């Protein structure tokens, strides 16, 4: 059931069911209000949260430690059998039984719930009871803008990325051992990249006597992600982005037409994986482990590990980062982290929002921020010269688990409403990966993304209907054109007319209004 079909029923259901609940008394000792302690009597609050297919578990070490420090315990309401976040969120709303706290990835839905009355405004509570959040926003006004809804209220605390210290997300990787074998230099332009991919296809760099190399491959399971990465090569975005101070829909721009013509040519010549739309998330591992793939764009933190993984399997294997090839003198990439992803808010059924906002504020204290980022002291990190450093349990796990998996097993870095320090990722990523990320940031090649815009209830209702159709048509035609089923040049005028009929111009007006509102 979609949110728009159930949102208006939630308040009635909450009135009859949610508001009838009684505040639960939690057994435990009375504690003095000192240090991080928030409440003398221990208190317990319910929370909906699902992240990476796992329901929130308040018994994980990080949240048990937080209870020891604050005297506040969280209890997850999502079933351990629920792994699909959007579906579980909608089921929760349709049931009419809200928890005290909701953490959710799609913050526009969370803010819409706030505008409709299901989640309460937080600005006055923050002003009175959350000095750490207030200080954080005073020092980082750009982050505060991300928290303000279209109606001027704050309904959720975002889960922030440390964008200004680690803005990059993914980059371009190429088989440098193949380049050396074929006597080629690193491609610095798309024209040079085209020639390199042709050489990978025709000159047997894996030396098995077959033309089985796949010059360009991608790891993705939805068309939108595939096209976003392919079009980035030609400096076009497969979404809304800022152009000359105004939001534009990437797949309707003239530059996009030009990119699709080139990409269709590359695909026809076998330079792009012929199974790019069906190979899925296992593509990277398959292509590299079988010595087939030559070039891709993927996440730094995971792609950089393949040199170590395959060094004893494939002689001289070297899959390393290069800067984005320039197209018409533009050397930027649109692959950047958003300033935040997800957030959490307090519902109208919560009996004690003051204590909850103090608990939210704890995670912006020095101790809380360290707990969420690094886990539990003397287990996953130790303090050295006043700074947290991950232990060997994380960095050299005896069971062979990757560092991020070990960290998350403690409950750390579960997407709620915290701030993710860049330092923790730099610590668990290997030196090669850190060097690659710094290369991108220091070279100034990362295109700053358009901010996540906020919409009024009326705007959102109208925009959702248009956007779903725009996305459907643009993804459908992108696949048809890339595979050569139809011709971009022949279809373009009819394609644009189709987008206009759906409501492209109206969606531009809404986006412009929201963009101007955010910038003000």
| Domain presence at residue 138 | yes
pLDDT at 304: 86
pLDDT at 26: 74
- Distance, in Å, from the CA atom of 51 to the CA atom of 185, rounded to the nearest integer, reads 42
Span 265-313, pLDDT tens digits: 999 999 999 999 999 889 999 999 999 999 999 999 789 889 988 999 9
CB burial of residue 384 (10 Å; 0-12, 13-18, 19+): exposed
What are the φ and ψ backbone dihedral angles of 506, each rounded to 5 degrees?
-65, -40
pLDDT at 25: 67
DSSP assigned state of 221:
S
CB 271 within 8 A of CB 194: yes
Reference 184, options 201, 172, 170, 169; nearest CA is 201
String of b and e for 472-505 (b: at least 16 CB within 10 Å)? ebbbebbebbbeeeeebeebbeebeebbeebbbe
- What would the two tokens of residue 499 be? 């987008």
DSSP assigned state of 241:
E
Q: What does the pLDDT average to over 71-89?
A: 93
pLDDT at 326: 97
Give the whole-number percent of the chain exceeding pLDDT 70.
95
pLDDT at 4: 47
Strand 170-175 and strand 293-299: the pairing is antiparallel
CB 120 within 8 A of CB 347: yes
Question: pLDDT band at residue 10, thresholds of 50, 70 and 90?
Answer: low
| Domain presence at residue 513 | no
Candidate from 211-215, 324-328, 422-426 with smallest mean pLDDT: 422-426
In this predicted structure, the answer to whether residue 16 has a pLDDT above a threshold of 60 is: no
| Domain presence at residue 494 | no
In this predicted structure, the answer to whether residue 142 has a pLDDT above a threshold of 50 is: yes
Place of tokens 């482990």: 289
In this predicted structure, the answer to whether residue 23 has a pLDDT above a threshold of 80 is: no
171 three-class SS: strand
| Domain presence at residue 328 | no
CB 56 within 8 A of CB 414: yes
Question: pLDDT band at residue 92, thresholds of 50, 70 and 90?
Answer: very high
| Domain presence at residue 455 | no
Question: pLDDT band at residue 153, thresholds of 50, 70 and 90?
Answer: very high
pLDDT at 513: 95
In this predicted structure, the answer to whether residue 5 has a pLDDT above a threshold of 70 is: no
pLDDT at 110: 94
Q: At what angle do helices 488-502 and 254-268 cross, to 10 degrees?
A: 140
Q: What does the pLDDT average to over 334-344?
A: 94
String of b and e for 434-457 (b: at least 16 CB within 10 Å)? bebbebbeeeebbbebbbbbbbbe
174 three-class SS: strand
What does each C-alpha distance from 466 to 254, 380, 472, 496, 511 come to in angstroms?
21, 47, 10, 14, 12
Contacts of residue 91, defined as CB under 8 A and 6 or more positions apart, other chains included, come to: 1
246 three-class SS: strand
Place of tokens 């090669």: 432
| DSSP annotation string for 47-88 | EE-EETTEE--TTSHHHHHHHHHHSEEEEE-S-TT---HHHH
> What number of other Cβ atoms are within 10 A of residue 84's Cβ?
11
pLDDT at 430: 80
| Domain presence at residue 193 | no
> What number of other Cβ atoms are within 10 A of residue 12's Cβ?
10
519 three-class SS: helix
Span 181-215, pLDDT tens digits: 999 999 999 999 999 999 999 999 999 999 999 99
Give how many domains the chain has, as a whole number: 1
| Domain presence at residue 499 | no
What are the φ and ψ backbone dihedral angles of 466, each rounded to 5 degrees?
-70, -45
Span 355-389, pLDDT tens digits: 999 999 999 999 999 999 999 999 999 999 999 99
DSSP assigned state of 119:
B
pLDDT at 126: 98
In this predicted structure, the answer to whether residue 2 has a pLDDT above a threshold of 80 is: no
- What would the two tokens of residue 405 be? 């998996």
CATH number, domain with residue 96: 3.40.190.10
Question: pLDDT band at residue 226, thresholds of 50, 70 and 90?
Answer: very high
Strand 50-51 and strand 157-161: the pairing is unpaired
In this predicted structure, the answer to whether residue 18 has a pLDDT above a threshold of 50 is: no
pLDDT at 464: 85
| DSSP annotation string for 279-342 | SGGGHHHHHHHTT-EEEEEEEHHHHTTHHHHHTTTSTT--EEEEPPPBBTTB--B--B--SEEE
String of b and e for 145-162 (b: at least 16 CB within 10 Å)? bbbbbbeebbbbbbbbbb
CA 243 distance to own-chain centroid = 22
Q: Where are the alpha helices (DSSP H) in 342-396?
A: 353-362, 366-374, 392-395
| Domain presence at residue 52 | yes
Q: For the whole model, what pTM was predicted?
A: 0.83
In this predicted structure, the answer to whether residue 19 has a pLDDT above a threshold of 70 is: no
For 348, the domain range is: 3-165+339-375+410-420
Q: Report the 3 state secondary structure along 427-453.
A: HHCCHHHHHHHHHHHHCCCECCCCCCC
Reference 327, options 173, 172, 193; nearest CA is 193
In this predicted structure, the answer to whether residue 1 has a pLDDT above a threshold of 70 is: no
Question: pLDDT band at residue 234, thresholds of 50, 70 and 90?
Answer: very high
- What would the two tokens of residue 483 be? 């595979």
């Amino acid at each position: 059931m979609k949110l728009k079909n159930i949102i208006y029923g939630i308040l009635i259901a909450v009135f009859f069911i949610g508001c009838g609940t009684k505040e639960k008394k939690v057994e435990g000792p009375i504690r003095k209000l000192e240090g991080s302690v928030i409440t003398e009597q221990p208190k317990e609050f319910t929370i909906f949260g699902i992240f990476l297919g796992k329901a929130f578990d308040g018994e994980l070490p990080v949240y048990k430690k937080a209870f020891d420090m604050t005297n506040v315990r969280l209890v997850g309401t999502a079933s351990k059998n629920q792994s699909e976040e959007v579906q579980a969120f909608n089921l929760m709303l349709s049931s009419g039984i809200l928890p005290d706290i909701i953490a959710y990835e799609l913050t526009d839905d969370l803010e819409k719930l706030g505008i409709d009355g299901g989640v309460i405004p937080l600005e006055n509570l923050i002003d009175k009871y959350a000095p750490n959040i207030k200080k954080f926003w005073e020092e980082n006004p750009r982050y505060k803008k991300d928290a303000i809804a279209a109606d001027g209220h704050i309904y959720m605390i975002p889960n922030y990325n440390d964008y200004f210290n680690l803005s990059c997300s993914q980059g371009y990787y190429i088989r440098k051992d193949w380049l050396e074998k074929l006597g080629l230099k690193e491609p610095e332009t798309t024209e040079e990249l085209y020639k390199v991919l042709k050489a990978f296809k025709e000159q047997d760099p894996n030396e098995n006597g077959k033309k089985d190399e796949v010059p360009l491959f991608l790891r993705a399971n939805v068309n939108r992600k595939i096209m976003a990465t392919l079009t980035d090569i030609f400096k076009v975005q497969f979404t809304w982005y800022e152009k000359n101070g105004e939001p534009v829909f990437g797949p309707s721009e003239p530059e996009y037409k030009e990119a699709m013509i080139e990409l269709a040519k590359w695909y026809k010549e076998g330079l792009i994986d012929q199974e790019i739309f069906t190979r899925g998330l296992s593509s990277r591992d398959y292509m590299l482990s079988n010595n087939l793939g030559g070039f891709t764009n993927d996440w730094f933190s995971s792609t950089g590990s393949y040199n170590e993984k395959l060094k004893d399997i494939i002689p001289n294997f070297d899959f390393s980062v290069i800067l984005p090839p320039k197209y018409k003198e533009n050397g930027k990439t649109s692959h950047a982290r958003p300033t935040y992803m997800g957030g959490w808010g307090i519902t109208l059924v919560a009996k004690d929002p003051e204590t909850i906002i103090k608990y939210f504020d704890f995670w912006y204290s020095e101790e809380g921020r360290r707990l969420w980022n690094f886990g539990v002291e003397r287990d996953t990190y130790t303090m050295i010269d006043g700074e947290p450093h991950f232990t060997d349990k994380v960095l050299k796990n005896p069971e062979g688990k990757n560092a991020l998996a070990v960290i998350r097993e403690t409950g750390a870095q579960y997407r709620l409403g915290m701030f993710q320090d860049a330092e923790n990722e730099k610590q668990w990523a290997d030196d090669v990966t850190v060097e690659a990320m710094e290369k991108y940031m220091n070279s100034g090649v990362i295109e700053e993304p358009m901010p996540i815009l906020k919409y009024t209830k009326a705007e959102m209702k109208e925009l959702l209907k248009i956007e779903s159709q725009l996305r459907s048509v643009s993804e459908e035609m992108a696949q048809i054109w890339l595979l050569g089923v139809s011709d971009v040049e022949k279809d373009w005028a009819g394609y644009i007319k189709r987008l206009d009929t759906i409501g492209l111009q109206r969606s531009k007006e809404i986006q412009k209004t929201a963009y101007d509102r955010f910038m003000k």
